[in-house]
């Protein structure tokens, strides 16, 4: 009994402070992260299940380009019809000026953001916020879904306080054919920036 109780305690501690699994419920991050049909816009038979690192933000700041699990501000429920825990991509850091141009491309502090994860057909569907600009308040972060035309995000309900960030997604672990690491691309970009010159937008 003591061994079982200890094992349960370890599992609960890991989920609370280190790593926690999450299911992708909507199409806002398609095709990077899938939700399950017949949900609107969902492209997969099964919803992706991901792991988020719950402790890393205790030791470093969030990085632009990371996929992050966070608790939404109250305005999200009013604007989207639901709130709670969302998974989206971090676009704007505290103090940043974020702009969506007339073609749906995102600019941060007057520099065009490199977003290879956005499909052109999905960018073309994103017409609601063309030529809009947002200033990210200090202490807060600006998030968007990769499926821009089907994402209720910071463009609608504003920036997210630092204390609401749970952690970055680092792995899809289900279904088996979609097992992948998500922290690799931002890490490689920062490594290249360090080796080749001053950091750019992904610093």
pTM of the entire predicted model: 0.83
DSSP state of 99: E
User: Rounded to a whole number, what is the distance in angstroms from the first to the last CA of the chain?
Assistant: 49
Mean predicted confidence (pLDDT) in 154-177: 95
What is the C-alpha separation between 21 and 177, in angstroms, rounded? 17
Inside any domain, residue 185: yes
Positions marked active-site: 28, 88
**Residue 33 in domain:** yes
Residue 203 covered by a domain: no
Q: Enumerate residues 6+ apart whose C-beta is below 8 A from 139.
A: 94, 161, 162
Tell whether 126 is covered by a domain. yes
pLDDT digits (tens, 9 = 90+) for 60-72: 999 999 999 999 9
Q: Is residue 201 part of a domain?
A: no
Name, in order, each residue with C-beta under 8 angstroms of 90's C-beta and a sequence gap of 6 or more.
62, 63, 64, 65, 66, 67, 68, 141, 142, 143
In a domain? residue 61: yes
Torsion over CA: 133, 136, 137, 143 (sign): positive
Give mean pLDDT, residues 65-82. Answer: 92
Higher pLDDT: 190 or 120? It is 120
Query: Which CATH number belongs to the domain containing residue 170 in this structure?
Result: 2.10.109.10
pLDDT at residue 105 greater than cutoff 90: yes
Q: How far apart are CA 201 and CA 193, in angstroms?
A: 10
Show the domain range for 70: 2-196
Is the pLDDT reported for residue 187 higher than 80? no
Number of domains in the chain: 1
In a domain, 157, yes or no: yes
């Amino acid at each position: 009994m003591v061994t079982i109780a200890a094992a349960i305690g370890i599992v609960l501690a890991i989920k609370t402070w280190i790593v926690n699994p999450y299911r992708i419920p909507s199409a806002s991050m398609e095709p990077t992260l899938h939700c399950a049909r017949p949900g609107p816009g969902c492209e997969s038979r099964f919803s992706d299940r991901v792991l988020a690192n719950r402790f890393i933000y205790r030791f470093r700041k969030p990085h632009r380009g990371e996929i992050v699990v966070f608790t939404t501000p109250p305005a999200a429920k009013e604007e989207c019809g639901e709130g709670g825990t969302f998974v989206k991509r971090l676009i704007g850091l505290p103090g940043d000026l974020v702009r969506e141009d007339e073609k749906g491309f995102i600019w941060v502090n007057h520099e065009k953001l490199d977003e290879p994860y956005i499909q052109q057909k999905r960018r073309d569907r994103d017409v609601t916020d063309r030529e809009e600009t947002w200033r990210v308040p200090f202490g807060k972060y600006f998030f968007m879904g990769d499926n821009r035309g089907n994402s209720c995000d910071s463009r609608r309900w504003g920036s997210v306080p630092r204390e609401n960030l749970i952690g970055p997604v680092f792995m899809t672990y289900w279904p088996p054919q979609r097992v992948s690491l998500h922290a690799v691309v931002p890490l490689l970009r920062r490594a290249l920036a360090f080796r080749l010159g001053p950091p750019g937008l992904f610093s």
